Amino acid sequence: MKVLVATEKPFAAAAVKGIKDIVEAAGHEFALLEKYTSEDELKAAAADADAMIVRSDKVTAGVLEAASRLKIVVRAGAGYDNLDLPACTARKVVAMNTPGQNSNAVAELAIAMMIFMSRGQFTPATGTEIMGRRLGIQAFGNVGRLVGAKAEALGMSVMAIDPFIPAEKIREAGAEPASDLKELYSSCDFVSVHIPATPETIGSIGYELITSMPKGATLVNTARKEVIDEAGLEKALEDRPDLKYVTDVAPSNIESLKEKFGTRVFATSKKMGAQTAEANINAGLAAARQIVDYFATGCTRFQLNR
Ligand code: NAD
């Protein structure tokens, strides 16, 4: 079987070597496409692939049509909004992600972002400390739980909400369950967002929730830019000069936000939450192992399109 690694933003070299070793040790062929600049390039490389490993690369219906031999595609990472799942199902392609493999990298970035904003983006102005502040975690999945544990170790008190996790599980993990989003936002100095981008969550964090945050609060988004209602955010920052926003990947109105709000807003120039050597290696190797297992035993443990 031919296993193609197709990454517009390449994995770390050690991850590529590890994937190649796993694929070849199982008797499969390894192919690599990095830094491609058009969907056509991706389609051409995918044309004879039986399996594909991608990162944030868009696997559209068109790509799937071109990849006529494809049996499995694995998104090396957690969020899978870049995979067209109905199109995968229609073409009988198994789609998987690698949950948990890059969570620590993202959690460390969320904590770093809180400190960065509290200390005026590392300018000499007098800042504030995060110890003793209250952190609200929106979605208590792999990343959210790790952010909670790290924040607690730094002396923050942690509140969390997740519609799919019972309150007692949140309590067992050391966080106080919030009764609803309004309680989370209105009582926390920082809210860290970890919801997936789905039709229900896209644009779901807007003016009302953001302006319900207490004085001096900071919204931290290492999830997806799409979950924020950008016009609502801009208006909230206008009406509440004490609020701050920090995000991994710029919203489409970033230029306007920077011009109006200066150091109250910060956005990474390219999504970097999972961009550590460790996360690359963990997610890349997990993807390779999942493909090898699927071909060897039919294992579909992390299948997304059942
Ligand atoms: P996860 O699947 O482990 O956790 C997601 C949590 O969201 C789950 O606990 C689930 O119950 C909850 N959830 C699902 N639907 C929801 C809804 N409609 N409303 C509220 N909560 C909902 O995922 P994770 O590894 O914790 O990652 C969370 C998100 O972070 C991913 O979906 C991805 O978009 C983003 N992410 C970003 C980076 C980055 O580089 N910045 C890297 C990894 C993940």
Distance 250 CA to ligand 1 centre (A): 18
CB atoms within 10 A of CB 250: 18
pLDDT at 231: 97
Q: What is the pTM of this model?
A: 0.92
Given its phi and psi angles, is residue 25 left (phi above 0), alpha (psi -120 to 50 degrees) or beta? alpha
Instruction: Say how many Å lie between the CA of residue 196 and the centre of ligand 1.
Output: 4
Q: If DSSP codes are grouped into helix, strand and coil, which group holds residue 109?
A: helix
Closest by Cα among 132, 147, 128, 101 to 248: 147
User: Which residues are within 8 A (CB) of 213 and not within 5 positions of it... i.e. 6 or more apart?
Assistant: 185, 186, 188, 191, 219, 240, 243
Counting from 1 in the atom list of ligand 1, the atom nearest the Cα of 275 is 40
d(CA 60, CA 68): 13
Residue 215 burial (10 A CB sphere; 0-12, 13-18, 19+): exposed
pLDDT one-digit tens code per residue, 126-180: 999 999 999 999 999 999 999 999 999 999 999 999 999 999 999 999 999 999 9
Confidence band of 249 (pLDDT split at 50, 70, 90): confident
Provide the percentage of residues in the chain whose pLDDT is more than 70: 100
In three-state secondary structure terms, 13 is helix
Confirm if 193 and 229 have CB atoms less than 8 A apart. no
Residue 177 and residue 34: Cα distance in Å, rounded?
Answer: 43
pLDDT, average across residues 250-258: 94
Give the separation between CA 6 and CA 143, rounded to whole angstroms.
Answer: 25
CA distance 229 to 282: 32
Nearest CA to ligand 1 atom 12: 139
> Ligand 1 centre and the CA of 126: distance in Å?
34
Best mutation site among 106, 161, 278 for ligand 1, i.e. most ligand atoms within 8 A of its Cβ? 106
Q: Which residues line ligand 1 (CB under 6 A)?
A: 77-79, 99, 102-103, 106, 139-144, 162-165, 194-198, 200-201, 222-224, 248, 271, 273-274
Closest-CA residue to 78 (of 245, 226, 246, 222):
222
- Compute the distance from residue 165 Cα to the ligand 1 centre, in Å: 13
Q: pLDDT tens digits, residue range 15-57? A: 999 999 999 999 999 999 999 999 999 999 999 999 999 999 9
Quickly state the pLDDT bin for 100 (edges 50, 70, 90).
Answer: very high
